[in-house]
Amino acid sequence: MAELLKIMWTIPVNVCGCERSFSALRRIKTYIRNTTGQERLTCLALINIEQDYEIDIDAIVADFVSKKDERKKFFENEKNNCI
């Protein structure tokens, strides 16, 4: 009987988390209008649902810059101009 009560008390918590996730996903998809890829949508949903993430801006910029040679040239020039 005690096990049944433990299970009964944990089910609403799991349902609330799931409902919160679907609500966040619905807001994001409405805002973006389904023009984004699945990976980006997943990342945006996680950021929205788990809002206590610490974002490493330097890692994001480094990843962004590393994608194309033009970006590397631009950011290196800007970095030299700032020094």
CB 20 within 8 Å of CB 49: yes
Residue 29 one-letter amino acid: K
Distance from C-alpha of 20 to C-alpha of 74, rounded to nearest angstrom: 41
**Tens-level pLDDT at each residue, the chain (83 residues):** 677 666 666 655 555 556 667 777 777 776 656 667 778 877 877 777 776 667 788 888 888 888 888 877 887 766 655 55
Q: What is the pTM of this model?
A: 0.32
